[in-house]
Amino acid sequence: MLLLVLALTQAPIELTPGMVITQSVRVVPKVYRLSGAPIVVRGDNITVDFRGATVEGSSADTAIRVDGGSNVRIVNAHVRGYKVGILAARHRSSLPRDERSEPQLEAAPLEPR
């Protein structure tokens, strides 16, 4: 738990296409217009707190890919314009969830650009 607290107290990061996140981070809250390679989250016990940031992209792309690992949380993210918002591959227990409820996976239609 202490490692999670320390990781979340680090300075927020800015997102770039294709970046690989391997530890818990906070994202600078703004609108990111990204194309090409998705943001990749890889590892165990990682929380990526988007703090309300919006990721906008192309309808042919994937925004965020959770690649393996377990207990990965993507929170407070807004994703628009992508064909796939969040893709979880080879993961264990990595479903998006509401802090007050059991794990769940909800899908909503993508907003037009």
Both structure tokens of 9 = 């107290």
- From 58, 53, 104, select the one nearest 85 (Cα to Cα): 58
Neighbours of 109 (CB within 10 A): 5
d(CA 103, CA 58): 28
Instruction: Give pLDDT, residue 98.
Output: 46
- From 88, 74, 86, 83, select the one nearest 110 (Cα to Cα): 83
Query: Helical H runs in 1-113?
Result: 2-8
Domain ranges of the chain: 2-89
% of the chain exceeding 70 in pLDDT = 72
pTM: 0.73
Instruction: Give pLDDT, residue 92.
Output: 66
